[in-house]
Amino acid sequence: MDVIAPLKFPCIESGQPIVIAGPCSAETRQQVIDTAKGLADSGIKIFRAGIWKPRTKPGGFEGIGTDGLEWLKEVKNTTGMLIATEVATRNHVEEALAAGVDILWIGARTSANPFATQEIADAIARCGRTDVTVLVKNPINPDIELWVGALERLYNAGIHNLGAIHRGFSTYGKHLYRNMPQWRIPIELRLRFPSMTIICDPSHIGGKRELIAPLSQQAMDMGFNGLIIESHCSPDDAWSDASQQITPEILNFILNTLVIRDTSTTTENLTLLRQQIDRIDNELLEILSRRMAVSRDIGRYKKEHRMTVVQPGRYNDIIHSRLEVAKKMGIGEDFMKVILLAIHDESVRQQIEIVQDRIK
């Protein structure tokens, strides 16, 4: 897959976050129109609404279906907003494109299924609409290859206006978040596709209204290119995801309080600080290499005296004493454990090479 270029929407000023907002589900014409009006008044340019809803269990509200597309068309015609909806099957794609939907997104349950993403990619190509914008939510399980695989299936079908949405990952049990953010996964996606548009979905990560503001700020601080936020004219009455939807007015308030950081420029001061980091990293490498040299000496001693390489008592002492010192220095315990364990593993590996005569 080549470089995925950033998405450009003429209605959104460059450098400003792409904000997509609207209800979890289209429910009634009135609810769609009222919500859309409130959002348009708040300056939102892209309206979202689920027409077909993938629900965890049967028996819930599974989306209003085709009728809702007429309401989305009305939103587009009366407010000028672009319209976005979720597609999971070939039929959804055909109907959404026929209704003039501007942005399709692939939901988290669908992006986890290669058959379904391939079907969607093929359907878009068959409709002759490879120019359409498609956003791919992360799969519900924390598997970056599956996420990239879904993007690749679309790309290979000729659909190059692509972006990704980070909506968190499923876990077992009760947690602060509805879906754990596991930020290192979208960060890795950013490293693989530096210019691709990556949007954060604080509504589905948090699952609660009060988490939308802090998660949105965190996303901006981390350099996400936009937000997709669920908004409903009467959130408590929503037919799906009521606890995470906010009114257009609250959304407007949150967006106005967000600090938007500059992702592009590097100032002189930052360059100097980065040079310091480069020097410190070199020192770290030198210290690690000296430590490994001592470790190999210990390996030679153990070999001569027919001692075992791994001595658990010593290992526990090391961890315990270093964690105490690290704590006083304000270094996180989990982080320090990972580092100490990795250093110890590498020492053991090098000592075993010596004991087994693979290195002298």
- Regarding 84 and contact with Mn ion (CB under 5 A), the answer is no
Distance CA 318, CA 345 (A): 13
Which residues between 100 and 129 bind ligand PEP (CB under 6 A)? 107-108
Binding partner selected for residue 51 from ligand PEP, Mn ion, none, CB under the kind-specific 5 to 8 Å limit: none
Nearest residue (CB) to Mn ion, 119 versus 241: 241
Tokens 């420029």 belong to 265
Q: 226: Cβ–Cβ under 8 A, 6 or more apart, which residues?
A: 17, 18, 19, 20, 197, 199, 200
Q: Where are the beta strands (DSSP E) in 87-242?
A: 103-106, 133-137, 162-166, 197-200, 226-230
Distance CA 131, CA 159 (A): 6
Least distance CB 150 / ligand PEP (angstroms):
12
Of the candidate residues 92, 167, 190, 209, the single one contacting ligand PEP (CB under 6 A): 167
- Regarding 24 and contact with ligand PEP (CB under 6 A), the answer is yes
Binding partner selected for residue 101 from ligand PEP, Mn ion, none, CB under the kind-specific 5 to 8 Å limit: none
- Regarding 93 and contact with Mn ion (CB under 5 A), the answer is no
- Regarding 299 and contact with ligand PEP (CB under 6 A), the answer is no
Of the candidate residues 7, 20, 24, 104, the single one contacting Mn ion (CB under 5 A): 24
Least distance CB 88 / Mn ion (angstroms):
14
Nearest residue (CB) to Mn ion, 95 versus 241: 241
Spell out, one character per residue from 213 to 242, where the chain touches Mn ion: x when CB under 5 A holds, - when not. ----------------------------x-
Residue 173, token pair as written in the block: 């049990």
Contact 127, 94 (CB under 8 A): yes
Of the candidate residues 137, 153, 190, 232, the single one contacting ligand PEP (CB under 6 A): 137
- Regarding 204 and contact with ligand PEP (CB under 6 A), the answer is yes
Per-residue burial over 211-227, b if 16 or more Cβ lie within 10 Å, else e, is bbbebbbbbbebebbbb
Question: CB count, 10 Å around CB of 116?
Answer: 20
Question: What phi-psi label fits residue 12: left (phi over 0), alpha (psi between -120 and 50 degrees) or beta?
Answer: beta
Nearest residue (CB) to Mn ion, 137 versus 153: 137
Distance CA 273, CA 278 (A): 9
- Angle, CA of 178, 257 and 228, to the nearest 5°: 40
- Regarding 162 and contact with Mn ion (CB under 5 A), the answer is no
Nearest residue (CB) to Mn ion, 24 versus 213: 24
- Name the 3-class secondary structure at 246: strand
Binding partner selected for residue 27 from Mn ion, ligand PEP, none, CB under the kind-specific 5 to 8 Å limit: none
Which residues between 312 and 331 bind ligand PEP (CB under 6 A)? none
Q: Is 2 exposed, middle or buried (0-12, 13-18, 19+ CB in 10 A)?
A: exposed
Residue type at position 10 = P
- Regarding 255 and contact with Mn ion (CB under 5 A), the answer is no
Of the candidate residues 17, 22, 38, 50, the single one contacting ligand PEP (CB under 6 A): 50
Q: Is 68 exposed, middle or buried (0-12, 13-18, 19+ CB in 10 A)?
A: buried
Q: Where are the beta strands (DSSP E) in the chain?
A: 18-22, 46-48, 82-86, 103-106, 133-137, 162-166, 197-200, 226-230
Nearest residue (CB) to ligand PEP, 170 versus 234: 170
Nearest residue (CB) to Mn ion, 186 versus 235: 235
Residue among 154, 145, 181 nearest 165 (CA): 181
Number of amino acids touching ligand PEP (CB under 6 A): 7
Nearest residue (CB) to ligand PEP, 129 versus 204: 204
Least distance CB 240 / Mn ion (angstroms):
6
Least distance CB 179 / Mn ion (angstroms):
11
Query: Which residues make up the interface to ligand PEP (CB under 6 A)?
Result: 24, 50, 107-108, 137, 167, 204
Query: Which residues make up the interface to Mn ion (CB under 5 A)?
Result: 24, 241
